[in-house]
Amino acid sequence: AQKVTQAQTEISVVEKEDVTLDCVYETRDTTYYLFWYKQPPSGELVFLIRRNSFDEQNEISGRYSWNFQKSTSSFNFTITASQVVDSAVYFCALSEDSNYQLIWGAGTKLIIKP
């Protein structure tokens, strides 16, 4: 069973549009951690955010924001006023307290058109 689901394989928007990338996770642990990573065309994965299961506050960092909702087991990522440089593959990942391995979603390819 897939534990981290990124249902959107590819999203294409025009620059300056807002876009939300969905992430749904599945775990029985009460303590867990959620992550988002960005992989631009250059290939190097970049860590964006880590959120633990006890902190449901939304996070904002510039044009990026994250919405964590335990009730729906979702950790969605929104880019406001998208830019061409945001074009990348974005991965959501889960780290369970009972498991040393990071569980990765399949990724969402985001294309921002000028």
Partner 1 sequence: DVKVTQSSRYLVKRTGEKVFLECVQDMDHENMFWYRQDPGLGLRLIYFSYDVKMKEKGDIPEGYSVSREKKERFSLILESASTNQTSMYLCASNVGTHYGYTFGSGTRLTVV
Instruction: Name the residues that contact partner 1, by CB under 8 A.
Output: 33, 35, 37, 42-47, 50, 52, 91, 95, 97, 100-102, 104-107
Residue closer to partner 1 by CB (options 46, 81) is: 46
Nearer to partner 1, 100 or 114 (CB): 100
CB nearer to partner 1: give 80 or 109: 109
- Buried/exposed code over 41-51 (b: 16+ C-beta within 10 A; e: otherwise): eeeeeeebbeb
Q: Phi then psi for 13, rounded to 5 degrees?
A: -135, 165
Q: How far apart are CA 33 and CA 110, in angstroms?
A: 24
Rounded to a whole number of angstroms, the minimum distance from the CB of residue 93 to partner 1 is 9
